[in-house]
Amino acid sequence: MVPDKNDVLYGSLGMLVLQTLAAIGPLHGYRLARRIEQISDNQLTLNQGTLYPALLKLQQKEWIAAKWGESETGRRVKVYSLTKAGRKQLESQESRWHRTTGIIDRFFKIPNEA
């Protein structure tokens, strides 16, 4: 169950994308992938391709928006940004995450009675 260095926590990629966009602002795909890896201090490495279906899903749910723009190197890239609905979703995910980890945390803190 311990996350391997190569894995992104199952089902949490969407949340990571939302949080990254919320923290850093609009980003294009490659920069987003790199940021997620950097923020995790390279503990997490993405199979960067998997980012795109996740981005599409977030778009379909209207949590993020995309428009064509320019990268720092002058390339034509699709830039993703957080929507209002996405911010709301992020807030609720965050609180749920804290609650869940809090509960699990308590189990790890059960004193060993044996």
Partner 1 sequence: MSKVDRDLDNEIDAHLAEAVEDYVARGFSRKDARHAALRDFGGVTQVKQVHREMRSFTFMNWLDFKLGGRMLVKYPGLTIVGGIAMAFAICVGLVVFQILSLFIHPTLPLPQGDRLVEIRVIDLEVNDEEPQILHDFLQWRQSLRSITDVGAWRNSSPNLIDALGDSRPVPVAEMSVSGFKVSGGVPLMGRVLVETDEQPAAPAVAVIGYEVWRTRFGSDPNIVGRIVKFGNEDVTVVGVMREGYEFPVAHDVWMPLKTALLDQMPRSGPVVVAFGMLAPGESMKSAQAELTTVGRQVAAQSPATHQRLEPFIRPFAMMTSPAGDPAGGLILYSVYVFTAALLILICGNVGLLLFARAASREADLVVRTALGASRGRIVAQMFAEALVLGGLAAIVGVIAADVALRYWGMGFLEANMGRLPFWFDLSLSPTSFAVAILLTTAAAAVAGIMPAMKITRGMGDRLKQTTAGSGGLRFGGVWTVVIVAQVAATVIFPAVVYMEQTIMSGIEDFPAGFPTEQYLAVHIERDYAVFGANTDAAALERNARLAGTLEELRRRVEAQPGVAGVTFIASVPTTGSPQKIVEMAYDLDGGAPQANGAEPPFREATVGAVDPSYFEVLDAPVLAGRRFTAADAAAGSRVAIVDQGFVDQILQGRNALGQQVRFRYPGKAPRPWSAGNAADPPGLGDWYEIVGVVPELGLGAPTRKGRAAGLYIPATPNLFVQIQMMAHVPGGDPMTIAPQVREAAAAVDPSLRLVSLQRVNEVNNDVLWVTRLWIRITVVLSSVALLLSLAGIYAVLSFTVARRTREIGVRVALGASRRRVVAATFRRPLLQVTGGILVGTSIVFIAAILIRNTELAGFENELTLAGMAKVIGYGVIMLGVCMLACLVPTHRALNVEPSTALRTE
Range in contact with partner 1 (rule: CB under 8 A) among 14-22, 40-48, 83-91, 97-105: 40-48
Nearer to partner 1, 50 or 100 (CB): 50
Neighbours of 35 (CB within 10 A): 17
Q: Could you give the CA distance from residue 14 to residue 58 in angstroms, rounded to a whole number?
A: 7
- The answer to whether residue 49 forms part of the interface with partner 1 (CB under 8 A) is yes
Nearer to partner 1, 24 or 56 (CB): 56
How many of the chain's residues bind partner 1 (CB under 8 A)? 23
Q: Are 66 and 80 in contact (CB under 8 A)?
A: yes
Strand boundaries in 1-114, DSSP class E: 27-28, 64-70, 76-82
Q: Which of residues 42, 43, 60, 92 is near partner 1 by CB under 8 A?
A: 60
x-or-dash pattern for partner 1, window 69-98, by CB under 8 A? --x-x-xxxx--------------------
Q: Could you give the CA distance from residue 59 to residue 17 in angstroms, rounded to a whole number?
A: 12
Q: Could you give the CA distance from residue 81 to residue 6 in angstroms, rounded to a whole number?
A: 26
Q: Which residues bind partner 1 (CB under 8 A)?
A: 28-31, 33-34, 45-50, 52-53, 56-57, 60, 71, 73, 75-78
